[in-house]
Amino acid sequence: MIITQQKDIDEIYEMVKPYDKILIAGCDGCCQPPRSVEEAKVLGQLLELKARSEGKDLKWRAMTVLRQCDDRIAATTVRPYIKDYDAVLSLACGLGVVMLNKVFPDILTFPAQDSHYGGVQNNGNNFYIEYCESCGDCIIGETGGVCPRAGCAKHLSNGPCGGMVDGMCEVGGYTKPCAWVDIWKRLKEFDRLDLFKKYRPPRDYRTSTSPGYLEIHKEYTNEEEKTEEKA
């Protein structure tokens, strides 16, 4: 899931202020916390109040999209409404906002959210945590399933560094665990410290340069062929 945070209402209002009619699009995809039609309605009401305080009459409509980051879904869901509006305000992560700008190039879509990282929901600790930063060269088969790229503040390939104290990381003032200590504990538990001692070359950033392009594999796009193969 993409961990997002709604922008300050004043910042959002400044973006949409020049427009009289805005379409507010939630996203039912993977952005967290959820930003669906209910959140879109609340945002619309807040913006309407702000506009009214400036003597302006803002028209808005709230809707939601199954996944704004899928061009076909975004196009078919939003198209029936978009002609009646001057601008779109998206509650999706940045992927959804970029996609709406591409699918509907004749109208501007603005972001209502800041996108932080791809993360997991750890309900026990009440946190959304970044466990993977999509580096394109997964090495956690050697690190007990703990990611040193997302988990280590210095992205070290062979840790821990000298900044670790009592299992905690110096970056951030010893408030977060050192990923390399967690890796050591995991590998020790499974009697696989041979993996811990193994030298890993520095990360090759060529596997994660932007923009990423990966061809969509046929098996995910051609349902007919998939069925034939099974038969």
Residue 151 in contact with residue 182, Cβ under 8 Å?
yes
Token pair belonging to 59: 């028209």
Element (H, E) at 100: helix 94-103
Q: Which is nearer to ligand SF4, 19 or 184 (CB)?
A: 184
Q: Name the minimum Å distance from CB 126 to ligand SF4.
A: 22
Query: Which sign, positive or negative, has the C-alpha torsion 154, 155, 158, 160?
Result: positive
Near ligand SF4 by CB under 6 A: residue from 153, 157, 158, 186: 153
Total residues binding ligand SF4 (CB under 6 A)? 25
Q: Is residue 78 near ligand SF4 by the rule CB under 6 A?
A: no
Q: Name the minimum Å distance from CB 197 to ligand SF4.
A: 16
Q: What is the CA radius of gyration of the chain?
A: 22
Q: Is residue 152 near ligand SF4 by the rule CB under 6 A?
A: yes
Q: Which is nearer to ligand SF4, 94 or 163 (CB)?
A: 163
Q: Is residue 134 near ligand SF4 by the rule CB under 6 A?
A: yes
Residue 223: how many CB atoms within 10 A of its CB? 9
Using CB under 6 A as the binding rule, the residues of this chain from 159 to 198 that contact ligand SF4 are: 159-161, 163-164, 169-171, 178-180
Neighbour-count burial of 75, counting CB atoms closer than 10 A to its CB (0-12 exposed, 13-18 middle, 19+ buried): middle
Segment interacting with ligand SF4 (CB under 6 A) among 77-85, 90-98, 100-108, 134-142:
134-142
Sequence-separated (6 or more) residues with CB below 8 Å from residue 192: 144
Angle made by CA atoms 111, 39, 86, in degrees to the nearest 5:
45
Q: Is residue 135 near ligand SF4 by the rule CB under 6 A?
A: yes
Q: Is residue 142 near ligand SF4 by the rule CB under 6 A?
A: no
Q: Name the minimum Å distance from CB 93 to ligand SF4.
A: 18
Segment interacting with ligand SF4 (CB under 6 A) among 6-14, 23-31, 33-41, 156-164:
156-164
Angle made by CA atoms 60, 75, 78, in degrees to the nearest 5:
15
Q: Name the minimum Å distance from CB 66 to ligand SF4.
A: 26
Q: Distance (Å, rounded) from C-alpha 207 to C-alpha 43?
A: 38
Near ligand SF4 by CB under 6 A: residue from 98, 108, 140, 195: 140
Residue 22 in contact with residue 89, Cβ under 8 Å?
yes
Interface contacts to ligand SF4, rule CB under 6 A = 132-135, 138-140, 147, 149-150, 152-154, 156, 159-161, 163-164, 169-171, 178-180
